[in-house]
């Protein structure tokens, strides 16, 4: 597939402190892999903080701005490497009525990690919490219930 003659090779990123009109905005997204600009409703950190984060070796772990995406019920956080991170606003954990959702709520209430279940791997607990295992074996439920301190048949009620 031929490369766009306007698009530079490589991983180009752009942070602009000024807004761009519709046509220019579209062109910027063609030319750059990631574009963060204030015209998209993005609120950026103060300039001195931007300079510090952008010059940091761990800039991918730091945030420089955020935008609220009301229609999608999410917040977009922008990392120092300009990559976006989308965070849903809806508390899916509270509304998940599956066995996995109940297990996760219980585990977090008790302050337990997925690796805190003797005889079970963290991977097994994670698969149950994600809903990949709909009906765990009785011995698995018994081990979970014993560690959490509730009856196995009560786990799904949380």
Number of H helices, E strands in the chain: 6, 6
Do 76 and 61 lie in one domain? The reply is yes
Contacts of 40 (CB under 8 A, 6+ apart): 25, 67
Position 144 scores a pLDDT of 95
Going by the DSSP 8-state scheme, the letter that residue 134 receives in this structure is S
Position 9 scores a pLDDT of 56
Q: Is 86 helix (H, G, I), strand (E, B) or coil?
A: strand
With 0-12 / 13-18 / 19 or more C-beta atoms within 10 angstroms meaning exposed / middle / buried, residue 88 is exposed
Domain contains 4: no
Q: Is 42:67 a contact under the CB 8 Å cutoff?
A: yes
> Which of 31, 56, 88 is where one domain is finished?
88
> Which of 88, 120, 149 is where one domain is finished?
88
Q: How many domains does the chain have?
A: 2
Predicted structure pTM score = 0.52
Per-residue pLDDT of the chain (158 residues), as tens digits, is 455 555 555 678 888 888 777 778 778 878 888 888 887 678 899 999 999 999 999 999 999 999 887 766 778 889 999 888 877 775 555 567 788 888 988 888 888 889 999 999 999 999 998 889 889 999 999 999 999 989 999 998 88
Domain contains 74: yes
Do 145 and 96 lie in one domain? The reply is yes
Strands (E), the chain: 13-16, 34-37, 43-44, 63-69, 74-79, 84-88
Do 19 and 81 lie in one domain? The reply is yes
Do 46 and 31 lie in one domain? The reply is yes
Do 100 and 136 lie in one domain? The reply is yes
Which range marks the domain in which residue 122 is found?
Answer: 92-157
Position 143 scores a pLDDT of 95
Taking the C-alpha atoms of residue 57 and residue 136, their distance in angstroms, rounded to an integer, is 44
Domain contains 3: no
Q: Is 113:123 a contact under the CB 8 Å cutoff?
A: no
Position 30 scores a pLDDT of 81
């Amino acid at each position: 597939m031929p490369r766009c003659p306007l698009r530079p090779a490589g991983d180009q990123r752009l942070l602009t402190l000024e807004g761009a009109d519709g046509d220019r905005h579209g062109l910027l997204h063609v030319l750059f892999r990631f574009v963060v600009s204030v015209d998209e409703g993005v609120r950026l950190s103060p300039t001195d903080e931007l300079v510090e984060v952008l010059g940091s070796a761990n800039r991918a772990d730091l945030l420089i701005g955020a935008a609220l995406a009301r229609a999608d019920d999410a917040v977009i956080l922008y990392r120092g490497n300009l990559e976006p991170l989308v965070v849903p606003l809806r508390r899916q954990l509270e509304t998940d009525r599956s066995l996995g959702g109940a297990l996760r709520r219980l585990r977090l209430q008790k302050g337990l990690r997925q690796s805190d279940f003797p005889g079970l791997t963290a991977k097994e607990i994670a698969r149950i919490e994600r809903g990949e295992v709909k009906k765990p074996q009785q011995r698995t439920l018994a081990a979970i219930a014993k560690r959490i301190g509730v009856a196995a048949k009560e786990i799904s009620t949380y």
